[in-house]
Amino acid sequence: MILVNLLLVAIAPHAYAKRNLVLMISDGFGPTSETMARSFMQDMGTESHEPWSSILDSMLTGSIRTQSSNSLVTDSAAGATAFACGLKTHNGAIAVDTNGTPCGTILEAAKNAGYATGLVTTSRITHATPASFAAHVVDRDMEDLIAMHMISKNATRHTKVDLMFGGGMCRFLPQSNDNSCRNDDVDVWQAAKDSGVTTLTRRSEFDLLSQTNQSMLPLIGLFAHSHMAYTIDRDSTSQPSLSEMTQTALNLLDDTSDKGFFLMVEGARIDMAGHDNDPAAHVHDIIEYWRTVQKVHQFVHSNPDTLVVSTSDHETGGLALGIDPEYTWHPRVLNQVTKSAEQVCSYLFRTQKQDVAEVIEDHVFPKYLGIDNHTQAELDVVVDALQVKGGDGRHKACKHAIGGIVSKRARVGWSTGGHTGADVGLYAYGNQMHKIKGNMENSHLGTLLMQYLDVSPSQVTKALANTATRQLAFFHSPHHDHD
């Protein structure tokens, strides 16, 4: 009997080994975005003619097909559901199939199997991508219900998500609170506290996490009313960066379960900059995403039982480097920009109407966009955008006007303010990375990730049969770039 046991151990030495999976999603990041940021870094160097490579360049293993079940151009909800559930669904659906039936996710299956679980994002934590791993609703705009799902417990009465970092505090506060964006009086934040969840909202509280030896999980840290700031705008004294949140998440989750952990990390604002056709905000959030990948890459070196996979749900903007007729583009134009189009427009909306043109000429162009030789046409396009009727329409027109001026000077083109149907890159490093290669459907990647953790969503799907997937009162938006 002893001999038999020894042989079994020899045949399957890793049968009970710890196993970690980090799924990184660079929302809206296509192959041209990688080229843009690489060229930007190369051009900023002292030897701009020398080749330069990002951490992702060394991890490229294939590509992902992005279409959803009802469109050749997916949205983030259907794209993330493909990764989370391993199946195709229609645009707008959050971890439900095409019939609206909840599908068990890799995060939920991992939690049931004994893994620690985490979600890190720079969007609202209730936004489409993170929501698709821990909530089940028929419409992504049902964020009030999503917030309740995300703090719920699984069949074993444990909070399904051990750690959440991101923005979106307004979805957790009752509508009686001035900072709320909910449509009801449910206090989800207090409900989380009552169930034993540690809650954080301040940068100072976040910093203390690295100084304690006590287990703080389950834990929610929300550091912004809505989405967290673009990297180009971020105040480091009030909001942690994506790389900082990810490093802390890795440290906390690694000490939580002997079996391992599943962590999803999203660079969400890459996508939103694409929607705004804002090349400077886009490139700076990509560079921060690279920093985050580097942190995870280093973790894998110290923890070889870890697999990191990076990909995107879709491409945003139809980005092109070079505008006819010139065979060139100018990365240094982007380096002069100090604020996102979003921040510039928010500033202009607070400016008295009679002062707008003067403020644009004397402040916005030289200080925010690095332009000291603006044309009358450039001034006119911004002033005209600020006259568009309707709050949402005016804000979008302004951001596209600001982004358009910078893009034209950099010789950067955009085909849309929405998503495209392009394939996106697939990157992997670490344990069993050889299995993550080639061109594949997004849903197939979801299946491969579940196989890596040796988990199945079937039992979770059965347990979710009676889950409420419809929010009674909500506003469905036709646009999902910033709402």
Cα–Cα distance, 47 to 377 (Å, whole number):
35
Least Cα distance to 470 among 74, 68, 78, 141 occurs for 141
Catalytic residue among 33, 54, 63, 76: 76
Helix (H) or strand (E) holding 320, with range, is: strand 320-321
Is position 443 annotated as part of the catalytic site? no
Beta strands in 48-180 (DSSP E): 60-65, 116-124, 163-167
334: closest CA among 25, 33, 47, 50?
33
d(CA 197, CA 159): 8
CA quadruple 77, 78, 79, 81: dihedral, nearest 10: 90
What DSSP element (H or E) covers 348?
Answer: helix 341-349
Count of C-beta atoms within a 10 Å radius of residue 206: 18
Sheet with 60-65: strands ordered across: 198-200, 219-222, 163-167, 116-124, 261-267, 20-26, 306-311, 424-430, 60-65, 438-441
Helices 391-410 and 376-385 cross at an angle (nearest 10°) of: 160
Question: Do 147 and 249 form a contact (C-beta atoms < 8 A)?
Answer: no
Answer for the pair 272, 481: CB distance below 8 angstroms, yes or no: yes
Which positions are annotated as active-site residues?
76
